[in-house]
Each structure stands twice: as structure tokens, then as C-alpha cells.
């Protein structure tokens, strides 16, 4: 039997009701007919009609009865179907009840009139601890009102009306309430417990915030600028190590007022509220510290209140600016004394540079032309004559042409103008270099020559015949000259190759020459720092000073050979002259005393610009010559100031030099005729080297002499307005000692003496040292490079044509994390400097000075 749904049952009930109504109507009709028949029998008339009528009625009654019986059968069948449908509906209802009770969420169903139809026990349990009783028929609005007034839901719902709402219960649990409409207009509401989800979400959020804070601190610590973040209450909340380094502060406690932190340093306090003397807000400022550094301080307000300050070390930028200013002054000085008109115009034909000669030619005051257009400063006629050439120069063509002009004395002069385009790397022309030379005399000479040429033509024709006879002889001489020239070229090539071979040999052998001196320097420095008796310390210091002198002399000779080869250049920098002169005076006082002479020294505190090593070489040669050629009396070392230059002078009371030999003495292998009998004659290279070094430095050498009375040699050096960088003191500061103490240092050098000296020196500073003569030797000692290490010191020249740069790269590849590296070498080439700078290593040249080594190691070990 097929199942009957709810709609079939309703139709059957309607049919049964209709049949019952029809049955009742037929019963009434039947009763009326029977009554009429019975009442008609009593009448005596027309009996046949009555009988006929009764027969008809009986037939109708029978038909009606059959229809009624059929309807009753259908009604019975409908009642049976209705009973089965009701049973299935009750079963489905029970299944629905079981289903909503089995779900883990609280459930409630409202009909189209927003009244409760059905709910499960979990929904009822929400109200178990209150006096509210939830019953079927309760309206939705009443339920929501009870949720707010009973206090079961302690927080307002979160979310929009068309989204899931979140409630927090009194016991701390969280519910997600979801509402969905039904097809009949009702509403279903589910209450889901998401307490565990909320707790895990809170934990994840806290972990994410902590991770972001850690990453932010690490990012800030790796900035090259100092950073300090202050909240709206003026409390320092975030800072980095660079801020502490620039401010000179020790580690700062958290949540201190920013004004107190700045008060402990020498930095100026700058906030968004800072004002200058005119009341204008100050967003940035520059401050020079006591140690000479210059800091740029900027403040940045935050949207939520508070501000962020950044601190940038711009000392190097200041030094570059001063160097550029000095270079500009020299360029201006040179161009102003060049006998030519020089100018520069940008792409818009606006003057950006003019020299003094250019301005004087056009009778303009100094600097008036700068920023003016070519059209504005010249007449329209003058510009039109130049316009075509200017256009060609702006198109990228170098143009040279002659141009007639009238000078200030109303004289016509012929000028040779050259326009050279200034191109960028992309080929774009951004300006024009203008060079104008007066060629009037040259042109007049050319015209005179042309006239003379015309007169000489006749004479040339007359001489042609004579020259023809000499032609054969000249050809023979030309052939002979060609052969001689060929032999000269071969001789010149051989000489150049010999000179190049000598230079390469000197550059290559410098490493081997400096190796033993470097080892001796390391050993004596280690001995100096040990606590020994005073006598030993004095002896060792004297040995150290002597080694230092040998280093300086040998290093200078090697540098000069490399300068000849074009390998290095003089290192010009400002320094206090007293640092050099006092050391030389102390050194040569003993030398003069040993020769029975007196050395008088007049101190000088001026600041000069030069190469301190090369200048010391010049003064040593002058002092040595003065002592060599003085029998008795004294030698004087002092200075005299001449405007912006300083003359360092060496006077002696020796034999003197004849005036006709003053130029000759600076030639190589030229020596004085008379000198002390107990001294060697030398090689005669001292003054030649002096003149050569002076030429490299751009210094002038002067000599004055009085035969039989003495001589005066001087070298002029430029004064410096810039203070030199402060040299580190001989004693290390406590933070530097702390960085070195316990530091794990690997030393890689193919010289056993260097390794031993390094070990002795570094262990004296408290380092844990591992030395090795090769990469394989180092790998065996440090667990195949996997041991912990803080610094790697490597020599650039290793055995088997290997170098330290490649060795460091191979070691860092084998390690998980790169180790900071310091490269030590006697190679002064700019290419090696650039390569090591790009790799991020530190470079030191031999011979190594221990104090400089200490400072560099402390810097590397202190870097984050």
C-alpha cells in the first residue's frame, strides 16, 4: 500500500465531510417521501396513481441506498488511510524531537506568528538557574527581552543583523546565535557553544602579537639609524641598540620618561612641540657631539599621540661636504688663473659656472651671470650669431669655431669658441661646456705667414731645382734614420720591460719584506702589554720604537715603488703636526747627541693636510742630511706660518752648499763634496727621494745655504681648518676589553711566526685563539669549521696561490652562519680594497699596528 502524505489525508477528510452532508440530505428527502405516501393512502381516490408513485419512490430509495452504501465504504477506506497518516506523522514528529535533542547546539523553532513551536533540552537548560520558564507558544520578542533582562547574557551581541551574533554568558562561555527563516514564515534559531574556539583564537592572537613585537624589535635593532618611540604620556616604549651607541647611554630600563633618558646623554631633546627662537615648529636639527661626531635628529608625530625620534650619524657626510667645498675652491682657483674664458650652461642655456676671466671679458660683477639665461646677458644680435652653434652642441655635437668680438677697449678680437656637450650615461645632453680662447695674435701671425708665404713662393721655385739635386741624398739619409729609429725603439722597449719588471718585483717582494717586521711588531706589542718590571718594559718599548721606525722607512720605500707603478696614491688627511714633529725630535735628539751635536726643537700645534707617513719620510731625510754634513754646532727643527701655508724648516750649522750646486743636489746619486769623515757617504738618493715625494704630495721644497756657515731646507704644507679624527688612546676602554675577553678568534696565516705572534698578542687580551697555517689545518682543529667562533682573521696571501678572500668564502659555505672576517695584507691596490668592501669584510694593511687591531676587533665583535 502506498504511503499517504499529509495532503492526501486532508483531501479524504474533505470528501468524507461532503458525503456525510449528502447522506443527511437524502435521509431527509426519504423521510418526507415516506410521510407523503403514508398520508396519501388514507385518501380513497386514485389508488393506482399512488401505487405507481410508490413504485417510483422505491426505485429511487434503492438507488440512493446503493449510493449511500458506496459512500460509506469510501468513508471507511478514508478513515483507515487517515489513521495510517496520523501514525506516520506522529512517528516523524518523534524522529524530529530525537534529532533536535541529538544535536550539540541549543535549538528553538518559531511559527509564522513568531511563537515557539519546538525547542530542545539544551535551549531549556540556558534558563535552568533563573525563574523564567520557557513554554510552547511564547513569542520571539519575549524570548529576546528575557535574554537581556535576566542577565544570563553579560555582553551585548556582536555582529550585524544579517550575520551570526556572539554572546558571552555569565559563566564566561561564548555563544554564537544563528537565525534562519522557514518557508512558512517562521524562524529557526541555533545557539552554538564556541568557547574553545574563542580561547584558541585568543591564544593565537596573543602569540601573533608577541611574535610581531619580537620581529619589530629585531627590525628596529638592525636599522642603521638610532630609533626611539615615545608614547602620548612621554614614556620611552621602544628603542634600538644604535640609539644607545649614538647617545652613549648604558642599557635603558623600560617605561622611563623620555626626558630623563635624554638628560643622561649629551643629546638635545626634540619633540613635535619644539619651537625655535621665532616660535616656528622644529622637525629636525643637527648636533655636534664632544667627540667630533655630527648627528641629525628628526621627530615624527604619531597619529595616536606620542612621537618617534630618529638619530643618524652624518659625520662622514659633513666630511665629504667639506672635501667637496675644498675641491670646489681649488677648481675655482685653477680656472680663475687659466688664460681662457670658461663657462658652463645647462640644457636651458642658463649659466651655472663662469670663471674670473669670462666675467672680466664681459665686464660683469662676480657671480652676477650665474642663474641668468644666455639670451638675457647678451644682445639679441650676439645670441643670433651663436644660436646655430648652440643648437648643434645641444644635439650632441662638439663644435669649434672662430668668432669676432669687441673687447672692453673697443678693439676687435678673434675668439676660438669650443662647445662640448655634457652627456649622461643614457646619452642625454644636460648642458654645454664653453671654452673661449683669444686667437687674435695667432690669426695675425697666420696672416703674416701667409703673406710671407706668397713672397716665398718665388724663392721656393728657385730653390726647387737645388732641392731636387739633394733629393737622392735625403732619401738615403731617411733610410738610414729609419734603421736607427728601429734600433732605438727596440732599445726603448727593452728598457721599459726592464723597468716594469723591476716595479713588479718591488710590489711583489713587499709582502715578504713586511712579514718578519709584522711578526716582530706583534711579539713586542704582546710584551709591552704584559706586566713586567719597568726596565724590561723600557727595553721592549725601545725595541718596539726601533721596529716602528724600520717599518715606516721600509713601508715608505715600498709605497714609493708602488706609486711609480701607479698602484697606490698618497693618503692626504688633516692631522696635528705636533704628533709628527715631537716624535721626530725625540728620535733625532739621540742621533744628534751621538754625533756630538745639539738638536733644538720649536713645537707647533697647527693642523695641516698631508700624508703623515710620506711627510715624515721627507723630514727624516732632511734631518739625516743636516746631521751628516754638520761637524759641530746644532740642528734646529721648527715652523713658520705663511698665510694659509706652513713652512717646516730644518736649519744646520754645517758646511753649506755652493749656489751653483743648489739645483744639482736634488738629482739622483749626487752627494755633497764634504761631510763628516766618520760617516758613510750614502747613495745620494735622500734629496732625490725628498723631491719625488714632495711632487707626489704637491708640496714645495725650498733651500737656502751659506757656504761655511750652514743651510736651511724647508717644505711647505697647507694648513687645515678641519680637526682630525681623534686617535684611540693606548688603553682600551672597559667595554672594548669586555668584548675581547673570551672572544673565540681563528687566525689563518701561512707564516708560523705570524701565527705565534698573533696567538701571544690576542691571548694577552683575553681571547681564545686557534691558529692554523692552512685551511686543512684549521678544519682539523675546529670540527670541520662547525665549532663556535666570533671572528676570523686571515692573511690575503696563502700557500699554493690561494688567497684569504676565497678561503673565508669556503669556510662560511661550510658553516651554517657566516663568521665576521678581517683580511690582513700588504697589497695596497684599489681593486682589492673595493672587492673586500663589497664582501663586507674588514681590511688591515701590514705591518699591523696593535692598537688599530684592537679597535677593529672590538668593532667587529660589538656589531649586532
Under 8 Å between Cβ of 16 and 75? yes
Going from N- to C-terminal start, the domains of the chain cover 72-97, 103-198, 215-319, 569-672+682-718, 744-861
Q: How confident is the model at residue 795 (pLDDT cuts 50, 70, 90)?
A: very high
Query: What pLDDT was estimated at residue 291?
Result: 80
Listed residue (629, 646, 761) closest to 705, CA to CA: 629
Length of the chain: 864
Task: Give 748: exposed, middle or buried? Use CB within 10 Å, 0-12, 13-18, 19+.
Answer: buried
Q: How confident is the model at residue 4 (pLDDT cuts 50, 70, 90)?
A: very low
Query: What pLDDT was estimated at residue 652?
Result: 93
Query: What pLDDT was estimated at residue 241?
Result: 81
The helices-and-strands tally (H runs, E runs) of the chain is: 22, 27
| Homologous superfamily, domain 215-319 | PAS domain (3.30.450.20)
For range 475-486, the mean pLDDT: 81
Listed residue (722, 730, 726, 685) closest to 610, CA to CA: 722
Sheet holding 341-346, edge to edge: 351-354, 341-346, 429-438, 412-423, 399-406
Return the percentage of the chain with pLDDT > 90, whole number. 8
713 pLDDT exceeds 90? yes
Query: Any residues with CB less than 8 A from the CB of 395 and at least 6 apart, and which?
Result: 421, 429
For range 132-140, the mean pLDDT: 78
835 pLDDT exceeds 60? yes
User: Distance (Å, rounded) from C-alpha 525 to C-alpha 761?
Assistant: 7
Q: Read off φ and ψ for residue 843, nearest 5 degrees.
A: -115, 135
Tell which wins on pLDDT, 369 or 284: 284
- Please state, in angstroms and as integers, the Cα–Cα distance from residue 503 to each residue in 508, 564, 567, 685, 690, following that order: 9, 8, 10, 18, 19
Under 8 Å between Cβ of 410 and 399? no
Query: What pLDDT was estimated at residue 524?
Result: 67
Listed residue (693, 673, 694, 695) closest to 684, CA to CA: 673
155 pLDDT exceeds 60? no
Query: What pLDDT was estimated at residue 498?
Result: 53
Rg (CA), the chain: 55
Task: Give 521: exposed, middle or buried? Use CB within 10 Å, 0-12, 13-18, 19+.
Answer: buried
Beta bridge partners of 599: 635
Query: What pLDDT was estimated at residue 769?
Result: 93
User: Distance (Å, rounded) from C-alpha 284 to C-alpha 112?
Assistant: 70
Tell which wins on pLDDT, 456 or 416: 416
User: Distance (Å, rounded) from C-alpha 834 to C-alpha 831?
Assistant: 5
Cis peptide leading into residue 57 (ω within 30°): no
User: Distance (Å, rounded) from C-alpha 231 to C-alpha 238?
Assistant: 9
Q: How confident is the model at residue 731 (pLDDT cuts 50, 70, 90)?
A: very low
SS3 169: strand
Our measurement of the distance from residue 10's CA atom to the centroid of its chain's CA atoms, rounded to an integer in Å, reads: 85
**Class of the CATH domain delimited by 103-198:** alpha beta
For range 225-240, the mean pLDDT: 84
- When the pLDDT of each residue in the chain is averaged and rounded to a whole number, the result is 77
CATH assignment, 569-672+682-718: 3.30.565.10
Q: How confident is the model at residue 728 (pLDDT cuts 50, 70, 90)?
A: very low
Q: Diameter of the chain by CA atoms?
A: 203
User: Distance (Å, rounded) from C-alpha 272 to C-alpha 297?
Assistant: 12
| Span between the terminal Cα atoms of the chain, in Å | 88
Q: What is the pLDDT of residues 358-409, one digit of tens each?
A: 877 777 777 777 888 888 778 788 888 888 888 888 888 888 888 888 776 7
Q: How confident is the model at residue 729 (pLDDT cuts 50, 70, 90)?
A: very low
682: left (phi over 0), alpha (psi -120 to 50) or beta: left
Under 8 Å between Cβ of 441 and 413? no
Q: What is the pLDDT of residues 119-135, one digit of tens each?
A: 877 777 777 666 777 77
Query: What pLDDT was estimated at residue 683?
Result: 45
Q: Do domains 103-198 and 215-319 have the same CATH topology?
A: yes
Listed residue (354, 315, 374) closest to 726, CA to CA: 315
Query: What pLDDT was estimated at residue 214?
Result: 67
Return the percentage of the chain with pLDDT > 70, whole number. 78
SS3 533: coil
DSSP 559-580: HHHHHHTTS-----EEEEHHHH
470 pLDDT exceeds 50? yes
Query: What pLDDT was estimated at residue 747?
Result: 93
Listed residue (597, 708, 734, 693) closest to 654, CA to CA: 708
Query: What pLDDT was estimated at residue 638?
Result: 93
Query: What pLDDT was estimated at residue 741?
Result: 87
> In this predicted structure, which of 5-19, 110-124, 433-447, 635-649 has the lowest mean pLDDT?
5-19
For range 134-152, the mean pLDDT: 73
647 pLDDT exceeds 90? yes
User: Distance (Å, rounded) from C-alpha 360 to C-alpha 719?
Assistant: 30
For range 435-440, the mean pLDDT: 83
- Please state, in angstroms and as integers, the Cα–Cα distance from residue 30 to each residue in 62, 797, 828, following that order: 11, 138, 140
- Residue 582 host element (H or E): helix 577-594
Instruction: State the fold for domain 744-861.
Output: Rossmann fold (3.40.50)
For range 422-449, the mean pLDDT: 84
Tell which wins on pLDDT, 533 or 314: 314
DSSP 742-811: T-EEEEE-S-HHHHHHHHHHHHHTT-EEEEESSHHHHHHHTTTTTS--SEEEEESB-STT-BHHHHHHHH
Q: How confident is the model at residue 725 (pLDDT cuts 50, 70, 90)?
A: low
- According to DSSP, the β-strands at 710-718 and 744-748 are unpaired
Evaluate the CA torsion angle 227, 231, 234, 235 in order and state its sign: negative
Query: What pLDDT was estimated at residue 567?
Result: 52
Q: What is the pLDDT of residues 9-20, one digit of tens each?
A: 566 677 777 777
The percent helix, strand, coil of the chain (3-state, each to 5) is: 50, 20, 30
Q: What is the pLDDT of residues 84-120, one digit of tens each?
A: 777 777 777 777 777 777 776 787 888 888 888 778 7
Listed residue (560, 562, 552) closest to 508, CA to CA: 562
User: Distance (Å, rounded) from C-alpha 601 to C-alpha 578?
Assistant: 11
- Residue 450 host element (H or E): helix 440-529
Query: What pLDDT was estimated at residue 771?
Result: 93
Tell which wins on pLDDT, 736 or 65: 65
Q: What is the pLDDT of residues 571-618, one digit of tens each?
A: 788 988 888 888 888 878 888 888 889 999 998 888 999 888 788 888
Amino acid at each position: 500500500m502506498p504511503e499517504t502524505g499529509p495532503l492526501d489525508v486532508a483531501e479524504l477528510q474533505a470528501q468524507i465531510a461532503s458525503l456525510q452532508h449528502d447522506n443527511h440530505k437524502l435521509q431527509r428527502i426519504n423521510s418526507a417521501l415516506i410521510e407523503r405516501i403514508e398520508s396519501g393512502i388514507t385518501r380513497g381516490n386514485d389508488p393506482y396513481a399512488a401505487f405507481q408513485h410508490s413504485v417510483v419512490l422505491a426505485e429511487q430509495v434503492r438507488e440512493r441506498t446503493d449510493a449511500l452504501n458506496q459512500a460509506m465504504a469510501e468513508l471507511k477506506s478514508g478513515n483507515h488511510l487517515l489513521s495510517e497518516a496520523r501514525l506516520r506523522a506522529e512517528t516523524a514528529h518523534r524522529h524530529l524531537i530525537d534529532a533536535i535533542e541529538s544535536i550539540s547546539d541549543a535549538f528553538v523553532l518559531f511559527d509564522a506568528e513568531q511563537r515557539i513551536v519546538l525547542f530542545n533540552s539544551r535551549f531549556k537548560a540556558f534558563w535552568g538557574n533563573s525563574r523564567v520558564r520557557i513554554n510552547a507558544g511564547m513569542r520571539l520578542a519575549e524570548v529576546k527581552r528575557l535574554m537581556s533582562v535576566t542577565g544570563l547574557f553579560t555582553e551585548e551581541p556582536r555582529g550585524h543583523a544579517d550575520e551570526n551574533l556572539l554572546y558571552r554568558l555569565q559563566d564566561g562561555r561564548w555563544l554564537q546565535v544563528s537565525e534562519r527563516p522557514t518557508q512558512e514564515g517562521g524562524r529557526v534559531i541555533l545557539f552554538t557553544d564556541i568557547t574553545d574556539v574563542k580561547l584558541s583564537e585568543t591564544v593565537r592572537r596573543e602569540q601573533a602579537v608577541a611574535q610581531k613585537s619580537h620581529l619589530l624589535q629585531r627590525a628596529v635593532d638592525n636599522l642603521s639609524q638610532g630609533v626611539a618611540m615615545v608614547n602620548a604620556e612621554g614614556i620611552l616604549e621602544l628603542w634600538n641598540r644604535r640609539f644607545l651607541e649614538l647617545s652613549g647611554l648604558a642599557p635603558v630600563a623600560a617605561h622611563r620618561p623620555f626626558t630623563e633618558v635624554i638628560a643622561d646623554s649629551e643629546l638635545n631633546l626634540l619633540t613635535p612641540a619644539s619651537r625655535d627662537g621665532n616660535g616656528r615648529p622644529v622637525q629636525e636639527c643637527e648636533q655636534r657631539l664632544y667627540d667630533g661626531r655630527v648627528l641629525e635628529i628628526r621627530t615624527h608625530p604619531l597619529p595616536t599621540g606620542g612621537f618617534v625620534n630618529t638619530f643618524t650619524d652624518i659625520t662622514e657626510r659633513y666630511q665629504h661636504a667639506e672635501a667637496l667645498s675644498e675641491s670646489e675652491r681649488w677648481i675655482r682657483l685653477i680656472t680663475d688663473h687659466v688664460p681662457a674664458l670658461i663657462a658652463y650652461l645647462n640644457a636651458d642655456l642658463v649659466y651655472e659656472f663662469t670663471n674670473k676671466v669670462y666675467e672680466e671679458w664681459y665686464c660683469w660683477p662676480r657671480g652676477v651671470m650665474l642663474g641668468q639665461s644666455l639670451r638675457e646677458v647678451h644682445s639679441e644680435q650676439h645670441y643670433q650669431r651663436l644660436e646655430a652653434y648652440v643648437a648643434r652642441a645641444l644635439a650632441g655635437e662638439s663644435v669649434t669655431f672662430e668668432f669676432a668680438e669687441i673687447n672692453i677697449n673697443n678693439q676687435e678680437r678673434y675668439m676660438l669658441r669650443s662647445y662640448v656637450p655634457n652627456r649622461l650615461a643614457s646619452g642625454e645632453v644636460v648642458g654645454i661646456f664653453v671654452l673661449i680662447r683669444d686667437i687674435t695674435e695667432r690669426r695675425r701671425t697666420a696672416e703674416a705667414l701667409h703673406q710671407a708665404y706668397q713672397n716665398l713662393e718665388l724663392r721656393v721655385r728657385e730653390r726647387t731645382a737645388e732641392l731636387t739635386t739633394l733629393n737622392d741624398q735625403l732619401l738615403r739619409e731617411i733610410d738610414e734614420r729609419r734603421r736607427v729609429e728601429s734600433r732605438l725603439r727596440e732599445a726603448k722597449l727593452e728598457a721599459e720591460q726592464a723597468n716594469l719588471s723591476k716595479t713588479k718585483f718591488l710590489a711583489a717582494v713587499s709582502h715578504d719584506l713586511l712579514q718578519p717586521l709584522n711578526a716582530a711588531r706583534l711579539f713586542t706589542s704582546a710584551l709591552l702589554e704584559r706586566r713586567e718590571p719597568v726596565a724590561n718594559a723600557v727595553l721592549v718599548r725601545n725595541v718596539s720604537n726601533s721596529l716602528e721606525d724600520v717599518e715606516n722607512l721600509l713601508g715608505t720605500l715600498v709605497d714609493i715603488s708602488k706609486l711609480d707603478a701607479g698602484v697606490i696614491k698618497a693618503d692626504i688627511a688633516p692631522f696635528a703636526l705636533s704628533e709628527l714633529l715631537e716624535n721626530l725630535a725625540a728620535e733625532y735628539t739621540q742621533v744628534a747627541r751621538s754625533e756630538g751635536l745639539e738638536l733644538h726643537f720649536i713645537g707647533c700645534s697647527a693642523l695641516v693636510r698631508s700624508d703623515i707617513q710620506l711627510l715624515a719620510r721627507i723630514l727624516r731625510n732632511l734631518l739625516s742630511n743636516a746631521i751628516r754634513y754638520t761637524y759641530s754646532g746644532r740642528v734646529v727643527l721648527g715652523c713658520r706660518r705663511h698665510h694659509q701655508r706652513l713652512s717646516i724648516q730644518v736649519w744646520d750649522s754645517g758646511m753649506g752648499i755652493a749656489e751653483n750646486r743648489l739645483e744639482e743636489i736634488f738629482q739622483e746619486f749626487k752627494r755633497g763634496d764634504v761631510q763628516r769623515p766618520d760617516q758613510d757617504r750614502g747613495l745620494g738618493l735622500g734629496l732625490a727621494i725628498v723631491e719625488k715625494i714632495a711632487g707626489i704630495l704637491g708640496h714645495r721644497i725650498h733651500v737656502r745655504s751659506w757656504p761655511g756657515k750652514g743651510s736651511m731646507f724647508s717644505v711647505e704644507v697647507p694648513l687645515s681648518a678641519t680637526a682630525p679624527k681623534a686617535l684611540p688612546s693606548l688603553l682600551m676602554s672597559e667595554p672594548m676589553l669586555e668584548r675581547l675577553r673570551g672572544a673565540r678568534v681563528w687566525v689563518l696565516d701561512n707564516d708560523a711566526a705570524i701565527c705565534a705572534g698573533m696567538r701571544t698578542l690576542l691571548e694577552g687580551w683575553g681571547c681564545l685563539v686557534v691558529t692554523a697555517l692552512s685551511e686543512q689545518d684549521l678544519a682539523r682543529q675546529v670540527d670541520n669549521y662547525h665549532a663556535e667562533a666570533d671572528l676570523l682573521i686571515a692573511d690575503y696571501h696563502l700557500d699554493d696561490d690561494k688567497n684569504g678572500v676565497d678561503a673565508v668564502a669556503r669556510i662560511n659555505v661550510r658553516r651554517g652562519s657566516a663568521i665576521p672576517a678581517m683580511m690582513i695584507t700588504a697589497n695596497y691596490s684599489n681593486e682589492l680594497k673595493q672587492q673586500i668592501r663589497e664582501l663586507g669584510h674588514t681590511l688591515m694593511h701590514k705591518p699591523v699596528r696593535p692598537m688599530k687591531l684592537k679597535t677593529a676587533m672590538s668593532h667587529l665583535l660589538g656589531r649586532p
